[in-house]
């Protein structure tokens, strides 16, 4: 009887391992993923630098950041040299790592911040440094907020415009210039295209106004119906602001999941305002957005 029980237990364990997806990996606890809102992460082609946005809960202090990988650990993040003055966010790298697009309220001229957020680009110079940001033309930018750009390997730009219907657009690059945007047949808050444009991951709001991530595949010039990603990615809390790594093998995304939980009572009671502040600033899983990664091959599980 014991050997039968052991066999059943082994079978049960194997079945459990098969049906439950491996959890997504948290990136850079306390360096990339912090007590603040950290999201819209992009990986460089060599896998050694991560560019992302950090902000407050109101998205009124967005700043573009960069962390480097050293000895297998993501290091303390630094402000990108072209950010820090204006409200800059939603950054994304091109698959070759030579171009970075982001949204900003910076003016194209003058000193007054714009009322809306436009798309800007900055390119790497010959010596590997970042050049000066340039505003994308009025064929792309509008009088409302442009959001969450994504770049394909051939330079095609995908992006959203904020509004009640969360419209998504595609602008093809021809002779080095982006063409007039085409409205996509799917709506969503964020959009991440695979480098080869074979699929995309879309942040969509459900009936409960919760954001989850969905996959759509391209079939010629048509797109499939959205399919919700699995439990390795989506939770009862918000997931969105994704990007696909340059090799097309991994998905980076932002989540408000509260892994780790809280244990009561505290191991040591806080007795001063300074200790309260220290505890709050050191807590990653507080409902703020953190950065995660999962293999593309497992994101449906």
Please tell me whether the peptide bond between 265 and the residue prior to it is cis, using omega within 30 degrees of 0: yes
Question: Is 3 part of a structural domain of the chain?
Answer: no
Quote the number of domains for the chain.
Answer: 1
| pLDDT tens string 26-85 | 999 999 999 999 999 999 999 999 999 999 888 889 999 999 999 999 999 999 999 999
Question: Is 17 part of a structural domain of the chain?
Answer: no
d(CA 82, CA 99): 13
d(CA 155, CA 183): 17
- For position 287, what pLDDT does the model report? 86
Question: Is 264 part of a structural domain of the chain?
Answer: yes
Query: Mean pLDDT score of the chain, rounded to an integer?
Result: 89
d(CA 56, CA 76): 18
| pLDDT tens string 90-135 | 999 999 999 999 999 999 988 899 999 999 999 999 999 999 999 9
pLDDT band at residue 221 under the 50/70/90 scheme: confident
- For position 292, what pLDDT does the model report? 96
d(CA 159, CA 274): 42
Quickly list DSSP for 199-266.
Answer: EEEEEEE-TTS-EEEEEEEEETTEEPPPEE--TTT--SS-EEEEEE-TTSSEEEEEE---TT---SS-
For the domain that residue 249 is a member of, what is the CATH number? Answer: 2.115.10
| pLDDT tens string 147-203 | 999 999 999 999 999 876 779 999 999 998 999 999 999 999 999 999 999 999 999
Q: Nearest-CA neighbor of 191 among 117, 135, 244?
A: 244
Question: Is 188 part of a structural domain of the chain?
Answer: yes
Question: Is 19 part of a structural domain of the chain?
Answer: no
| pLDDT tens string 264-293 | 898 899 999 999 999 888 889 888 999 999
Q: What percent of the chain clears pLDDT 70, i.e. is strictly above it? A: 92
Contact indicator for 235, 255 with CB cutoff of 8 Å: yes
Question: Is 4 part of a structural domain of the chain?
Answer: no
Question: Is 33 part of a structural domain of the chain?
Answer: yes
Q: Which pTM does this prediction carry?
A: 0.89
Domain extent for 200: 24-298
- For position 102, what pLDDT does the model report? 98
Question: Is 13 part of a structural domain of the chain?
Answer: no
Q: What residues are paired with 113 via a beta bridge?
A: none
């Amino acid at each position: 009887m014991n050997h039968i029980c052991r066999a059943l237990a082994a079978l049960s364990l194997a079945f459990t391992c098969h049906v439950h997806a491996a959890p997504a990996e948290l990136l850079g606890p306390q360096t990339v993923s912090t007590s603040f809102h950290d999201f819209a992460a992009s990986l460089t082609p060599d896998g050694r630098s991560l560019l992302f946005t950090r902000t407050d809960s109101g998205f009124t202090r967005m700043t573009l950041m960069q962390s480097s990988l050293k000895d297998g650990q993501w290091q303390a993040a630094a402000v990108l040299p072209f950010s820090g003055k204006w409200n800059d966010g939603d950054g994304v790298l091109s698959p070759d790592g030579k171009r970075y697009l982001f949204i900003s309220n910076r003016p194209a001229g003058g000193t007054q911040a714009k009322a809306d957020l436009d798309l800007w680009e900055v390119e790497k110079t010959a010596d590997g440094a970042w050049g000066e940001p340039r505003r994308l033309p009025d064929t792309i930018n509008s009088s409302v907020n442009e959001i969450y750009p994504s770049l394909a390997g051939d330079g095609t730009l995908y992006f959203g415009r904020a509004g009640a219907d969360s419209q998504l657009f595609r602008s093809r690059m021809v002779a080095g210039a982006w063409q007039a945007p085409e409205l996509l047949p799917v709506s969503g808050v964020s959009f991440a295209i695979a480098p080869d444009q074979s699929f995309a991951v879309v942040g969509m709001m459900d009936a409960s106004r919760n954001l989850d991530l969905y996959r759509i595949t391209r079939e010629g010039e048509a797109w499939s119906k959205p399919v919700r990603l699995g439990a390795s990615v989506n939770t009862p809390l918000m997931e969105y602001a994704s990007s696909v790594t340059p090799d097309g093998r991994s998905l980076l995304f932002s989540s408000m999941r509260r892994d780790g939980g809280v244990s009561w009572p505290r191991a040591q009671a806080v007795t001063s305002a300074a200790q309260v502040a220290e505890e709050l600033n050191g807590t990653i899983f507080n409902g703020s957005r953190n950065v995660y990664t999962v293999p593309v091959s497992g994101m449906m599980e």
